[in-house]
């Protein structure tokens, strides 16, 4: 297995492709890539439909997967707020790559049995596939898709990101094979001699104490440890430091524990979800997820320092556990990270390089990030979801 990644901020798309493809060839050293992952900024929107043909000429023989991105990541660098093209290529001996072109109107419903999902995707569960998915935000139910894949392919890993850069239906583009399309979802299923590890950095730190959900209905929490959530929040607010009180006004979230067989919880144990509203009369709290009775939850805050510390801790833990660096990686990062959050480019990619070394890393800034938390796949926000690829036999 061999990976390569390159990027260009040239304003001319043809020239950007020529330069990035030259970088790939230099890194691959004669290996013929099987997969080419491409992300293109909206500055090149007029040429979106020509991208598959241009890339087929520049990197012949590789299956194309990609989409538009509000910012792109390539060669371990982040290109934001200017023209950008990212190309990441992989030579994958012993790996079967199945392209996916998915339409929302054929998507099975949430209650469908696993066979409906395997027929929809056309991928045999016996092949033990991993999935990389790129849905359009305006025309496709990404959350329904990842739930369906989890049910039909238990124990497999799904990663990806929601296409970005466009502001209305039809303004994003998705690429798979020789096709460019403006709706639905695209992806690949990867099976055979490939292992896929993930790092999902949600960028939050806990405040207060873990609590049990003692009364709830779907996504509405009516009691935490027997008390109205509003009362709990008011008391928590009074105990916070002044800076955290300021953060709580606009960067307060709820973490749901996904692994409850512990006495203490750490990064990666929580699924972070938005607070949608509070009923002042009852004190009930609505959040952006379904909640089960007796679930353990804890309030969280997010800022640049916290986000940086969270990612660094997860990268360090992964490096210590795995030892060797992966041959290649993809990064699906939120549009709200990058320069917007940190005030400079390359924050997440620099941290990745510090702990993983000079690993080819490509990706884009997404409208939502797909990645697992303790074995279940979710659509996230404000997250950096890394996919780390290696040979299964290594």
**Mean pLDDT, contiguous 10-residue spans, the chain (394 residues):** 97 97 96 98 97 97 98 96 97 98 93 94 97 97 95 96 95 97 98 96 90 95 96 94 91 86 66 93 93 93 91 93 92 94 94 96 97 91 95 82
Domain boundaries, the chain: 2-201+308-390, 205-301
User: How confident is the model at residue 278, as a pLDDT?
Assistant: 94
User: How confident is the model at residue 270, as a pLDDT?
Assistant: 87
**Can you list the positions of beta strands (E) in 166-235?**
174-176, 179-181, 185-192, 195-201, 205-206, 211-217, 220-224
| Neighbour tally for 246: CB within 10 Å | 13
User: How confident is the model at residue 361, as a pLDDT?
Assistant: 98
User: How confident is the model at residue 6, as a pLDDT?
Assistant: 98
pTM for the predicted model, two decimal places: 0.92
User: How confident is the model at residue 76, as a pLDDT?
Assistant: 87
Whether the CB-CB separation of 236 and 299 falls below 8 Å is answered with yes
User: How confident is the model at residue 74, as a pLDDT?
Assistant: 97
């Amino acid at each position: 297995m061999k990976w390569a990644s390159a990027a260009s901020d040239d304003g001319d798309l043809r020239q950007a492709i020529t330069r990035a493809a030259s970088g790939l060839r230099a890194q691959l050293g004669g290996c013929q890539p099987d997969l080419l992952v491409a992300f293109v900024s909206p500055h090149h929107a007029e040429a979106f439909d020509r991208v598959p043909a241009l890339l087929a000429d520049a990197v012949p023989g590789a299956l194309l997967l990609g989409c538009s991105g509000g910012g792109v990541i390539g060669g371990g660098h982040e290109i934001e707020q200017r023209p950008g093209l990212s190309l990441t290529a992989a030579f994958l001996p012993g790996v079967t790559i199945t392209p996916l072109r998915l339409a929302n109107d054929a998507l099975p419903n949430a209650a469908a049995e696993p066979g409906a999902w395997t027929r929809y995707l056309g991928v045999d569960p016996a092949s033990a596939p991993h999935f990389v998915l790129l849905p359009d935000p305006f025309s496709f139910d990404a959350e329904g898709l990842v739930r369906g894949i989890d049910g039909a392919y238990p124990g497999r890993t799904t990663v990806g990101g929601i296409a970005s850069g466009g502001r209305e239906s039809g303004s994003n583009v998705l690429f798979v094979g020789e096709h460019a399309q403006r709706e639905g979802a695209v992806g690949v299923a990867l099976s055979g001699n490939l292992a896929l590890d993930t790092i999902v950095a949600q960028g939050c730190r806990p405040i207060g104490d873990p609590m049990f959900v003692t009364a709830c209905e779907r996504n509405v929490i009516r009691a935490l440890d027997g008390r109205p959530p509003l009362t709990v929040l008011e008391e928590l607010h009074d105990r916070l430091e002044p800076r955290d009180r300021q953060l709580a006004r606009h960067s307060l979230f709820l973490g749901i524990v996904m692994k409850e067989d512990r006495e203490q919880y750490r990064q990666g144990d929580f699924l972070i979800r938005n607070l949608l509203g509070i009923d002042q009369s009852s004190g009930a709290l609505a959040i952006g997820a379904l909640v089960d009775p007796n679930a353990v939850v804890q309030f969280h805050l997010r800022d640049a320092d916290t986000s940086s510390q969270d990612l660094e801790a997860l990268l360090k833990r992964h490096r210590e556990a795995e030892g060797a660096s992966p041959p290649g990686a993809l990064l699906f990062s939120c549009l709200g990270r990058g320069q917007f959050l940190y005030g400079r480019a390359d924050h997440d990619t620099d941290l990745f390089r510090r702990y993983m070394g000079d690993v080819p890393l490509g990706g884009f800034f997404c409208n939502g990030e797909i990645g697992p938390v303790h074995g279940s796949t979710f659509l996230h926000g404000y997250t950096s979801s890394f996919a780390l690829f290696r040979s299964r036999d290594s």
